[in-house]
Chain A
């Protein structure tokens, strides 16, 4: 469903060194050439050309930014909510807390669903990572990390392992075992090493690779078995706080959001930033792809959530209200993409109509900030975690 034709990463002989590699378009004296990433670096570090100074490069950058805005504005012929006027309005929603998961001793910071639509992994400030059965609310596994503030956790696609990390600057993978004699912590495998805290992690389509985001401003792709760094993604000017992988089966892109107010879309194979969006007024806490993969939503400390369309290359909707003044910490879409659930620092969850831009419902229940929110894989419910030490399942 998602057409990744907006930037085809070509594989072929580099125009400079003739080696067969993934190529990027490069513009030299208004001619378009294809260079491999090493030749791009070499070209960038060459001495100054004739008539080129640092100031002239900066001026060129400024004028290009202006051109970029112009190009984006040319195609801005209509607003999303105008197109959506002909769509039927949604009815009243009755969503209640169906389960409350109690057991964490401190703030819940992150959670993830297992593909079996039933199990949940959650992590908290006190270093505990717990795997729950959401139907029965029983705890199936618990592990204590050697660090506090476990800000990221993820379930492996196979359901056989979990990954987590935080202030230890690492991402560790724990295989899940039902053998009562085995100590889960003994089989721990350290996969990622960053130079600052781990803010987000996610397995790719298999158990073999993990994508991480860190306070050191970079994202990285790791091989789980060997712990080797496969690709790193540089470009954010400050801490990266969140990431999400494109939903396509053959997905090779992901989006990340950071404290530099930018959301950036990356190509996983080349490490290159394909698109970037800078319209938020504050840190972006959460990004999530629209189910079709053609757009993504972001939640920020500026109290708004925004929708960016990848093919139109611009922001197409803002979800905000004057009465909402606290930051949005996490966002997720319902299965069809019609609803956007956003958890806020004012303890509430707002449900937005994605197409019309209006708020459909507001959910109360948590007694402190909502820090994490994910819709279940089959869309029957969503789970929210909060600083009030609990997780709630809503349906």
Chain B
């Protein structure tokens, strides 16, 4: 009997917590997709010039593209 009771209190508390979590998520402030998408575009636009994988920097400045040899003959 006691076991049954403690099982039901755990499931009640779990169900209550789930309800509280869902209430909080349902009532949160949301923004329209059009505005959110516009912000993503704006960020991309603002930073695309600095992105070395899109606008390649000259080979001498990209340490991976330059053909330097790192071995020295002793």
Contacts and interface: CB of A to CB of B under 8 A. Distances in A.
A141 interface: no
B47 interface: yes
A332 to B, nearest CB: 11
Contacts of B17: 40, 44
Nearest to A65: B22
B25 A68 contact: yes
Contacts of A75: 30-33
Contact of A78 (B13, B19, B37, B51): B37
7 contacts: A61-B22, A309-B40, A311-B31, A338-B54, A379-B52, A379-B53, A381-B62
B11 to A, nearest CB: 6
B41 interface: yes
B47 A58 contact: no
B13 A135 contact: no
Interface stretch (A185-193, A199-207, A251-259, A289-297): A289-297
Given A58-B15, A78-B34, A311-B31, A337 B43 contact: yes
Interface stretch (A22-30, A156-164, A321-329): A22-30
A294 B44 contact: no
Given A337-B47, A355-B44, A380-B62, A314 B53 contact: no
B40 A98 contact: no
A100 B57 CA distance: 22
Contact of B33 (A68, A312, A375, A393): A312
B30 A335 contact: no
Interface residues of A, number: 75
Nearest to A86: B41
Q: Which of B16, B17, B41 has the most CB of A within 10 A?
A: B16
Given A75-B30, A338-B48, A84 B37 contact: yes
A99 B39 CA distance: 36
A71 B30 contact: yes
Contacts of B31: 75, 311-312
Contacts of A274: 28
A313 B30 contact: yes
A291 B30 contact: no
Contact of B30 (A24, A44, A312, A336): A312
A68 B30 CA distance: 11
Contacts of B60: none
A17 interface: no
Contacts of A379: 50-53
Interface of B: 8-9, 11-13, 15-41, 43-45, 47-48, 50-54, 57, 62-65, 70
B36 A64 contact: no
Interface string A42-66: 0111011000001001101100110
Interface string A377-393: 01111100000000001
A284 interface: no
A6 B47 contact: no
Contacts of A27: 20, 23-24, 27
Contact of B43 (A48, A291, A334): A291
Given A25-B24, A71-B26, A355-B41, A76 B33 contact: yes
A188 to B, nearest CB: 31
Nearest to A98: B64
Interface in A57-92: 57-58, 60-61, 64-65, 67-68, 71-72, 75-80, 83-84, 87, 90
B12 A48 contact: yes
Nearest to B20: A26
B40 A80 contact: yes
Given A99-B64, A337-B43, A354-B44, A43 B16 contact: yes
A382 B17 CA distance: 42
